[in-house]
């Protein structure tokens, strides 16, 4: 695949904030996130519907799509940050103007439900997008961790490769599920969205990839179902290696668990699926819905060294 890389952001550039899925839970968190962006040296403008409400969506599909298109078309906007995830990006895919995006490549950042857009944008345009913190969800929390801030700026403002991803503060040791060395494009996101893409025109293309994934708030049997879907769709057979991030809030429910008479842990589920694959796999990197977040350019070359427990980003995501 031919990648399209956006220009690196510079001090004084204008960042747009859009909400292609759900609206920010609190307007104050959006305001705090905008303050963080300005503190980093950026100017900020918001989409017209970023605080709109339509049930669990940030406005109608047409509203959210308009904001996305407007910001890619606006020559003054150099980067686009998502306000939060939630739900709704998949509803937009049939009407996204991929040619508009292809002709106006910009830094585009998000995760969680934004995975649906990121997978589709990579498939349809080759645009390198960024798995990273969002304005309301992360930048809007005080304090925004220095680890996450440094990782974000390193990924989007420097045109040299990120290199080896640093461990998050006080992180537990990475777990090596399978040793080995692998190289390939770094592709992935939130597991439920990757699984939901199967059978659509925008399905995950994992051929030869270093697959990274994470999840939030799911019981082990649901994690199992998602992995089983990827396996039976042939997506795990194709990968060169895998990096499992955090599964924040995942596990057997404290009250009313689905299987009170016995269960697997989330860790056991991952070991069951990935331990059988003859590829390097590590688990426990700061990729997920937890406190600390690295920022990952999606689609660029990466090296997974599961002997040493490291992931190296070997190609810049910006130019």
Active site residues: 112, 214, 289
According to DSSP, the β-strands at 301-305 and 310-313 are antiparallel
Whether 297 and 172 have beta carbons less than 8 Å apart is answered as: no
Whether 18 and 35 have beta carbons less than 8 Å apart is answered as: no
Within 10 angstroms of residue 103's Cβ, the number of other Cβ atoms is: 12
The dihedral through the CA atoms of 90, 61, 103, 149 has a sign that is negative
62: exposed, middle or buried (Cβ count in 10 Å: 0-12, 13-18, 19+): exposed
Cα maximum dimension of the chain: 58
Structure tokens at 271: 């070991």
Within 10 angstroms of residue 206's Cβ, the number of other Cβ atoms is: 23
Structure tokens at 53: 């409400």
Query: Among residues 19, 18, 15, 30, which one has the least CA distance to residue 79?
Result: 15
Distance CA 216, CA 177 (A): 21
Rg (CA), the chain: 18
Which of helix, strand or coil describes residue 17?
strand
């Amino acid at each position: 695949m031919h990648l399209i890389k956006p220009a690196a952001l510079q001090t004084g550039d204008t960042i747009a904030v859009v909400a292609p899925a759900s609206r920010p839970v609190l307007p104050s968190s959006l305001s705090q996130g905008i303050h963080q962006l300005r503190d980093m040296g950026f100017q900020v403008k918001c989409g017209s519907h970023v605080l709109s409400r339509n049930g669990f969506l940030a406005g109608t599909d047409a509203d959210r799509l308009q904001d996305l298109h407007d910001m890619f078309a606006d020559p003054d906007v150099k980067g686009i940050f998502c306000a939060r995830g939630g739900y709704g990006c998949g509803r937009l895919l049939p009407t996204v103007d991929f040619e508009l995006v292809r002709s106006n490549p910009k830094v585009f950042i998000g995760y969680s439900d934004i995975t649906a857009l990121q997978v589709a944008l990579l498939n349809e345009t080759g645009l390198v997008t960024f798995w990273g913190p969002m304005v309301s969800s992360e930048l809007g929390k005080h304090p925004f961790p220095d680890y996450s801030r440094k990782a974000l700026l390193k990924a989007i403002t420097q045109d040299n490769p990120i290199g080896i991803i640093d461990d998050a503060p006080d992180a537990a040791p990475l777990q090596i599920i399978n040793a080995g060395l692998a190289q390939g494009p770094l592709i992935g996101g939130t597991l439920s969205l990757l699984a939901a893409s199967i059978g659509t025109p925008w399905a995950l293309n994992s051929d030869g990839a270093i697959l990274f994934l994470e999840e939030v708030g799911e019981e082990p049997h649901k994690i199992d179902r998602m992995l089983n879907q990827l396996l039976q769709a042939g997506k795990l057979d194709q990968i060169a290696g895998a990096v499992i991030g955090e599964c924040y809030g995942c596990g057997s429910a404290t009250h009313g668990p689905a299987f009170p008479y016995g269960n697997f842990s989330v860790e056991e589920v991952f070991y069951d699926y990935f331990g059988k694959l003859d590829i390097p796999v590590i688990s426990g990197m700061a990729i997920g819905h937890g406190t600390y977040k690295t920022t990952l350019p999606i689609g660029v070359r990466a090296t997974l060294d599961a002997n040493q427990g490291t992931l190296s980003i070997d190609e810049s995501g910006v130019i």
